[in-house]
A and B are shown apart, each in its own frame.
Chain A
Amino acid sequence: MEIFLPIAHMDVNLLLVLAFGVSIGFLSALTGVGGGFLLTPLLMIIGVPPLVAVGTTPALIAGSAAAGSHSHWQLGNMDMRFGLALLLGSWSTAVGAIYATRVLERSGHFETIVVFAYITILGTVGTITFVESMRAVFGRRAAATGAPVETSPRAGPLGWLPGQIEFPVAQRRMSVVLPLLLGGFVGVLNSLGMGGGFVAVPAMIYLLRVPTKVAIGTSLLLMLATSTVVSVMQAGINHALDPILALTLIVGSALGAQWGARMSSILPGEKLRLLLALILLAVAIKFLVGLLTTPAELFGLTGAAQ
């Protein structure tokens, strides 16, 4: 069942795209990671132009983050002051990154940058998840598997940084520079279609020592607000948001998330994380092999004026 994508200017199999959405929603609900960093390369593998793949994913992330944000906001798991500092960082870098995307796309180097970024990120996240899940599966859990219990209001080794602020819900006092830097990194990832929650949550928990629930709630707020701005800018500046592709993915993802939520109590979490790690590594290896092997066709055509 083929469907025409008006921005990508190509035919795709509707059921295949729906299946991608279902898989991403399913994996997100089961493993807790967003899935944008897996969706963008999958779309590129089926032939969606890199700019459209990168430009459409934020709309899906905004939709799924909004669903999660609502319940976390009601539970009071969001530190608004901390979230605002993160957002100032992410919005600043996202704006720069999207303009850089435009320049790179015109110079013809965007695909190369995206492929290298994905090999690095998927390879790193895949390896960490693989090691962690292997330890869990074989019973040699790391000493700290949950959130570190931290009640001290002082930040430890980086207490000398300027702009120390109290973050009440996060129960932390730290320099505003830290959330600005973390937000800045997430902004770059988000504008590359990767979301960034998979970096934000562990960084908040393990580096900034924010309680797990607050880290997840504030990360969802960060994903929602950053992805919303990135999605609007990708449509406004790069004309890269494909509405048909995004709608299909959002519907698929919502269905997959419900299915994943139901299965999460049945399926073993460690083995699922192992499966996720293997998928991430497989996609990274696929891209790497593509760069290392001699291409069958050295030439390529792009930029047809429609």
Chain B
Amino acid sequence: MRTLRRALGWALAILCCAWLAGARADSGLLSDLQSSHVKITTGFTGQHVFVFGSTTTPGDIVIRVTSPDETEVLSRKGRVGPFWLKRGKLSIGHVPGLVYLLSNRPLNEIADRATLTRYGLTFQATLATAQVGGAPANGFEDWQAAFERLKRGQRLFRKIERGVRLEGGRLFSADFPLPAKLPVGLYRLDVYAFRNGVLSARHEGTLRVDEVGVERWLSWVTQQHAWAFGMLFTLLSVALGVSLSMVLRRGRARRS
């Protein structure tokens, strides 16, 4: 199934690239998505995103996927008597909730660290622009390492080296999985082409991640009409509890 999807993706990629190349041949680097909308439904368990494109100059390709910025709270446990309890916290804002770095080979082989940092192609570079609430002290001195480790654990920060496939030096594609729990909003998809360690072209795209259908409605109603939702849902729970009990009791009485 995955092979079939990939083959279809490639066919689509070649057709689209031919069209895109004809239309905007001057940009040097073009990319697109097989589907630019990730729809989160109740049954959402993650989704594969297929990116494809073409470049006029053969070289290396790096794709950076970032979700909208968020503010998160990093807490640290410490010993209080015999117990391990939360002892401190640090608010960290202006950091994308999700950062994926995909490349056709290890990033340190594509360009030097300074170049990668300049274009935000390391997690450290992403965290360097974060807005930290308060002075990082009392165990938070190396908060970046802890933040990155936790984000990697949640599969929200990922480095997928060899995640980009090159075909004949001009065409490329990448197929990466998004996790089930992911931030919503308009994601940025930045594609960088490197030649001999130097940026030769760059292309920007977007990917929309949204809750849809019942999921979207539930999210809206529970946030925007919280009191009305609370009252109606609690009444529904009471009615459901009574009716299920009555129906099942009758069924039991009929069987016995």
Contact B237 A59 (CB under 8 A): yes
A150 within 8 A of B: no
Q: Which of B5-13, B103-111, B115-123, B221-229 contacts A (4 or more CB under 8 A)?
A: B221-229
CA distance A243 to B234 in the complex (A): 9
User: For residue A64, which residues in chain B have a CB less than 8 angstroms away from its CB?
Assistant: 241, 245
CA distance A55 to B249 in the complex (A): 29
Interface residues of B in 28-59 (CB under 8 A from A): 40-45
The DSSP consensus for interface residues of chain A is: helix
Q: Which of A121-129, A195-203, A269-277, A293-301 contacts B (4 or more CB under 8 A)?
A: A293-301
B180 within 8 A of A: yes
Instruction: Write the nearest CB–CB distance from B140 to chain A, whole angstroms.
Output: 9
Contact B226 A236 (CB under 8 A): yes
Contact B219 A6 (CB under 8 A): yes
Contact A297 B150 (CB under 8 A): yes
User: For residue B45, which residues in chain A have a CB less than 8 angstroms away from its CB?
Assistant: 2, 4, 11
User: For residue B41, which residues in chain A have a CB less than 8 angstroms away from its CB?
Assistant: 4
Contact B84 A231 (CB under 8 A): no
Instruction: Write the nearest CB–CB distance from A306 to chain B, whole angstroms.
Output: 6
Interface size class of A (residues with CB under 8 A): 35 or more
Identity of the chain B residue whose Cβ is nearest the Cβ of A242 in the assembled complex: B222
A234 within 8 A of B: yes
Other than A233-B230, A235-B229, give 6 A-B pairs with Cβ distance below 8 A: A6-B211, A67-B244, A241-B233, A250-B240, A251-B240, A258-B248
Q: Can you name 27 A-B residue pairings with CB atoms under 8 Å?
A: A2-B43, A9-B181, A10-B181, A59-B237, A62-B241, A63-B242, A66-B238, A108-B86, A224-B238, A232-B227, A232-B230, A232-B231, A234-B230, A235-B222, A236-B226, A244-B218, A246-B233, A254-B248, A258-B245, A258-B251, A297-B150, A298-B146, A299-B74, A299-B149, A301-B72, A301-B75, A304-B70
